[in-house]
Amino acid sequence: VDVTLPSSYHGAVCGLCGNMDKNHQNDQVFPNGTMAPSIPTWGGSWQVPGWDPLCWHECQGSCPTCPEDRVEEYEGPGFCGPLAPGTGSPFTSCHAHVPPESFFKGCVLDVCLGGGSKDILCQALAAYAAACQAAGIKIEDWRTQAGCEITCPDNSHYELCGPPCPASCPPPARHTAPTVCDGPCVEGCQCDEGFVLSADQCVPLDGGCGCWVNGTYYEAGTEFWADTTCSKRCHCGPGGDSLVCKPASCGLGEECALLPSGEIGCQPTSITECQAWGDPHYTTLDGHRFDFQGTCEYLLSAPCHEPPTGTEYFNVTVANEHRGSQAVSYTRSVTLQIYGLSLTLSAQWPRKLQVNGEFVALPFHLDQKLSVYISGADVVVNTASGVSLAFDGDSFVRLRVPAAYAGTLCGLCGNYNKNPKDDLTAVGGKPEGWKVGGAPGCDQCEPEPCPKPCTPEEQEPFRGPDACGIITAPEGPLAPCHSLVPPTQYFEACLLDACQVQGHPGGLCPAIATYVAACQAAGAQLGEWRKPDFCPLQCPAHSHYQLCGDSCPVSCPSLSAPVGCETICREGCVCDAGFVLSGDTCVPVGQCGCLYQGRYYVLGATFYPGPECERLCECGPDGQVTCQEGADCEPYEECRIENGVQACHPTGCGHCLANGGLHYVTLDGRVYDLHGSCSYVLASVCHPKPGDEEFSIVLEKNSAGDPQRVVVTVAGQVVGLARGPQVTVDGEVVTLPVATGHVSVTAEGRNIVLQTNKGMKVLFDGDAHILMSIPSSFRGRLCGLCGNFNGNWSDDFVLPSGAVAPNVEAFGTAWRAPGSSLGCGEGCGPQGCPVCLAEETQAYEKNDACGKIRDPHGPFAACHKVLSPLEYFRQCVYDMCAHKGDKAYLCRSLAAYTAACQAAGAAVKPWRTDSVCPLQCPAHSHYSICTRSCQGSCAALSGLTGCTTRCFEGCECDDHFLLSHGVCIPAQDCGCVHNGQYMPVNSSLMSSDCSERCFCSPNNGLTCHEAGCPSGHVCEIQAGVRECQAARGLCSISVGANLTTFDGAHNAISSPGVYELSSRCPGLQKNVPWYRVLADVQPCHNNDKIVSKVHIFFQDGLVTVIPSKGAWVNGLRVDLPATVLTSVSVRRMPDGSMLVHQKAGVTVWLGKDGLLDVMVGDDLAAMLCGACGNFDGDQTNDAYGSQGKTPIEKWRAQDFSPCSN
């Protein structure tokens, strides 16, 4: 901003620009004329009344400064250097005329606090460029050198020194473009020859301009009100020659006013809100309050017929789901259809938006019609029609409708006619009459009848101030709201919700938060109601909780508040200082993403912008998008939207079956039996391609040949599935459900179900039935016992060499998995494999045995057309005959076919009885042929599900009990959810690098605190539990550069330099990741030698750490803490030391005093080279020399040494 005043204002002005009396020492005065003691108080005294209520004049806490170790970087030529005084730069000629010092200092501070943001740098350089040009100084092209090129709109081009008054559409009295006005030149976009500026677009001078009405210009094609009373509506035709005006007026429920855009227009006389929250409680647009627990999809609101004249048609539907119990239901998703778009907000993906099924990063805008952004806990959708929608990602839906729609609406929100008594008349008083969709049976309970809601007597314990009573407490933190928003209906709804879950925070806290949100929307100033032991709110990384946070947070890419956002106080998680919202996460200012074709993409996102996936694009640093042409989908793939992502997705999937430990059906349909007691590779990607989600599935067996465990490796992450169910992720025992970076694992009925991001699924019943579903994009590229998936069953017995195995035993031997037990083998030994004669199998083929599977009138009849029963029938008969009619094998076979049918979506009738395969269920549960375990779990109560849409047979918790870690417990005893994993009460969870420990307490819920391993300890997993363990593989360097090897030998580094401390020895083909640690040893001020920096090489990059300065990854500085490369974390510890931890087991700790620890796991024993020794338990072989060098000198890093001997 540049303000220029004539001298006639000498001494007659006031404000932040001073009084213009030629005395700079008296500029800092209050409005009353007295001197202000400080700049913040002075600035605050000149605040404009009625402006942003959340603005502040002083820093919240201490003001941010640029760390000393970053100043040099941002003062350099890659950043603010061109502004530095005395440097040769495009601005050199200007320095004598416009002193650059203040611009230079401001640039360094702004860019530093912005994390090196290119946008901020370019703005700082552009400010100095503008000042230079305003002074009439000619500057050189600075944008190319600084990487600040700008893209000009259509029909325009960039000019470094263009006319200050661009040619624009002329008034009617003048038929040519304006002549160039006086004044210094300016840089920017100028219209091409023959084009002139129309508003912000360049249009043809002939035929492209708009209309002039009463001295005001309107673009061609626009409609506008031509007077201040909204009585005349005009349309400006192309070329500005066809202006058509007609008498008009605002519609019903509207009034003529000056709009926030600065234009005259019609605005609603009022806007009314409908709410749905909790175990759905509804308040209609007319204020009618009712409860309705349906779990289908319902019409929330839409015009019953055509929308009123001058309004836009809209349709809002809400889908509900059971959470924790069939007695309660909550909002699963809400969808708004308007302007030909479908916008969905869901509890499954909170703080995310789907547009026509595709995920779109926030903020999202559509011309001037639509704006979607995050505000507090909500995602808010604002439309030009006045209809707005907000959803908090849990259960609270708010729909605001302008008065223009009054009396014309249908749905659960009522008819909007100011009469609350007739809101449900259209459906006979029954809310279920507004059902518009849902899964079959969504409106029924299984088994019936549905559980009854809590009685008033059962609600009584939750009236106190430590529960719902906090809403109505006359002296409580929410009391200031009572006069603005009557609390009664929210209190009554809270009682019901809290009672249904027996006071669990998952039901209680959102009910209170709903009232808080309504109060803050009404402008109430509330007290702190959340406490560490009452409804604490866990915030994601780089954010923190605030009761009065900004409802319009600064977001990428504009680094400004969302357009059209109303600034009010909103509780929720807000980004830490130096971080801004990018999509739904907080990132450093310098890590904003890209704006491409009007849509925002987060940094690193890959996307297909076209409907045919013909072009693959990636959002890179500095907002640059690069695209690869010709990225068409591969065979067996098609371009479509799946799980919210448009990409090349598989056209289908293949199924492989491993059953009973010996029966197999390959992906191409080959049936065979393999008797074997080894562990086997069932399926693995043997011919990967770029972008693959590589995986392998291994079946581990015991010495008797019975399945023990299924091990699935996906993108380097190892998940073990065993009976219990017991599940491990990278060796750590986890409680189901769990969702990691690549996979989710859930317990569904009797089964463990693993699903990957790219669509691969594994179902394991914990006994002997394994069903695999493999996406068709892997056709022809797999190997293992499931075959090669090329559509030809005859060549499925392919060996690793590519040849075809002569028999099934040779095939099995070739695909033994590493780690198979000694003495295991294929075949049945000298006695041969069991063979059954026809007369022996007859008894087992009857309908009271295995024949039940294929009985056309039996319990599986509805499944036959979906999944052929023949192979399961054959396997059942074989197993029963081989085991002399043992009924356990009949039950196992029937259960296997049941699971396969239900996984395929087919219905199965009850077949178990008290005498036939009875299933023993634990306390407080009962058997069900079709249970949805996720809906009846504690995890669901906290919003974590991730299950398939199928139901499976198994044990189902009784009413008022929920599933937690395999047992049914009262709802109030449920645990917590953290980072996609369920935690039972009284359990703790350590982060992957042991830097944080979270505890789930029965009273306080989830609490997390900083942890970290002390020196000499390493974060590792023992017996399935992650803890800090005393490092067995520890190499250390103390002050004076005294080194102790992994095996305990001592040595000293006598001269400065960079030394090879440890790496995996070359030539070893072991299945452990490669690494290399180099230490830079330098003399300190007291001549003691210390480690000044460490370089750690991994397979996919280099990490350098310097305690006094920070960390670099592949030469680029990173903000800490950070997860970099593949599963490598870098963080600064509270004492100032640096910790680098690789998930595979290498940890490097560097203290600020130059002490160094290198810690490795036992799996690297006897495999290492370097000054730290070979870690073989023998310290005598750690000190050996080479070619006359001392042992340490041998390990100088040749690629870092400045000269050679």
CA distance 221 to 241: 11
- Reported as a pLDDT band with limits 50, 70 and 90, residue 819 is confident
Range in 90-99, 543-552, 686-695, 1079-1088 the model is least confident about: 1079-1088
Which of the two residues, 647 and 561, has the higher pLDDT score?
647
DSSP per-residue codes, 966-1002: TEEEEGGG--EEETTEEE-TT-EEE-TTSSEEEEEET
Residues 6+ apart with CB under 8 A from 592: 117, 119, 556, 557, 559, 580, 582, 603, 623
pLDDT for 923 equals 95
- Reported as a pLDDT band with limits 50, 70 and 90, residue 760 is very high
pLDDT for 114 equals 86
Q: What is the pLDDT of residues 351-405, one digit of tens each?
A: 999 999 999 999 999 888 899 999 989 999 999 999 999 999 888 999 999 999 9
Which of the two residues, 1125 and 45, has the higher pLDDT score?
45
- Reported as a pLDDT band with limits 50, 70 and 90, residue 875 is very high
pLDDT for 294 equals 84
Give SS3 for 687.
Answer: coil
pLDDT for 447 equals 59
* Joined tokens for residue 971: 């709802």
E strands, 47-165, are: 156-162
Q: What is the pLDDT of residues 4-43, one digit of tens each?
A: 899 999 989 999 999 999 998 899 999 998 998 988 889 8
pLDDT for 780 equals 94
CA distance 1169 to 1172: 7
239 burial type by CB count under 10 A (0-12 exposed, 13-18 middle, 19+ buried): middle
Give SS3 for 1022.
Answer: strand
pLDDT for 799 equals 93
Q: What is the mean pLDDT of residues 518-528?
A: 94
Kindly report the CA angle at 57 between 54 and 62, in degrees rounded to 5? 105
Q: What is the mean pLDDT of residues 903-919?
A: 94
pLDDT for 886 equals 94
* Helix axes of 101-113 and 118-134: crossing angle, nearest 10 degrees: 160
- Reported as a pLDDT band with limits 50, 70 and 90, residue 967 is very high
Question: Dihedrals φ, ψ of 272, to 5°?
Answer: -115, 150
Q: If you search the block for the tokens 């869901």, which residue do you land on? A: 346
**pLDDT higher than threshold 60 for residue 1189:** no
Q: What is the pLDDT of residues 433-450, one digit of tens each?
A: 999 988 777 777 665 667
- Answer CATH for 1017-1200 from 1.10.357, 1.20.272, 3.40.1000, 3.30.110: 3.40.1000
**pLDDT higher than threshold 50 for residue 177:** no
- Reported as a pLDDT band with limits 50, 70 and 90, residue 1188 is very low
- Reported as a pLDDT band with limits 50, 70 and 90, residue 1187 is very low
Give SS3 for 590.
Answer: helix
pLDDT for 567 equals 84
CA distance 646 to 643: 9
CA distance 1072 to 1070: 6
**pLDDT higher than threshold 60 for residue 661:** yes
Name which of 833, 907, 900, 902 is nearest 873 in CA terms.
900
- Reported as a pLDDT band with limits 50, 70 and 90, residue 1185 is very low
Question: In this prediction, what percent of the chain has a pLDDT beyond 70?
Answer: 96
* Joined tokens for residue 782: 């797999």
Q: What is the pLDDT of residues 77-102, one digit of tens each?
A: 889 999 988 777 899 999 999 999 99
- Reported as a pLDDT band with limits 50, 70 and 90, residue 1194 is confident
Counting DSSP H helices and E strands in the chain, the numbers are 15, 79
- Reported as a pLDDT band with limits 50, 70 and 90, residue 887 is very high
pLDDT for 1079 equals 95
Q: Is the backbone of residue 85 left (phi > 0), alpha (psi -120 to 50) or beta?
A: beta
pLDDT for 51 equals 63
**pLDDT higher than threshold 50 for residue 1205:** no
Q: What is the pLDDT of residues 479-493, one digit of tens each?
A: 999 999 999 999 999
Mean pLDDT of the chain: 89
pTM for the model stands at 0.81
Q: What is the pLDDT of residues 180-201, one digit of tens each?
A: 577 899 999 999 999 999 988 9
Q: How many CA atoms lie within 13 Å of 873's alpha carbon, on the beta-carbon side?
A: 18
